[in-house]
Amino acid sequence: MLDRVGKNADGYPPYNIEQIGENRLRITLAVAGFGMDDLQITQEDNQLVIRGRQKDDGEGRVFLHRGIAARQFQRAFVLAEGMEVEGAWLDNGLLHLELRRPQPESRVRTIRIGAKGNGGATIVEGRPAKA
């Protein structure tokens, strides 16, 4: 269902992709330290992009060690045709996105049979042809 994943050079943030149903996926990104206002999710055509940008709140703070990443990121996924993002939520430093591929609608076509020399077959979409 996912055609390919846009790779970051450093692999940040790490993520999982799991199948949660026949036509459903969940993407989970580890975004510790990011709040909902720091994250943005966009989908344009088949490209799903997740961006994170933290506000610098280090004013007046003196770090003896700073090991928690506070950098911006962009992670892109190219979705297969027809994939839709159903929703997203943030829980305990993990950003979850649920995707699904809707079942294609079946389309009924009726083909009218014409007499020889009467112009051939005619396709009438979605309704029975009248004689």
pLDDT digits (tens, 9 = 90+) for 39-75: 999 999 899 999 999 877 667 888 899 887 678 999 9
Q: In what order do the strands lie in the sheet with 94-100?
A: 15-21, 24-30, 94-100, 84-91
Coil, strand, or helix at residue 36?
helix
Six-digit token string for 81: 């045709």
**pTM score:** 0.69
Mean pLDDT of 4-9: 53
| Pairwise CA distance, residues 61 & 55, whole Å | 14
Q: How far apart are the first and last CA of the chain?
A: 44
By residue count, the chain amounts to 131
How many Å is the Cα radius of gyration of the chain? Answer: 24
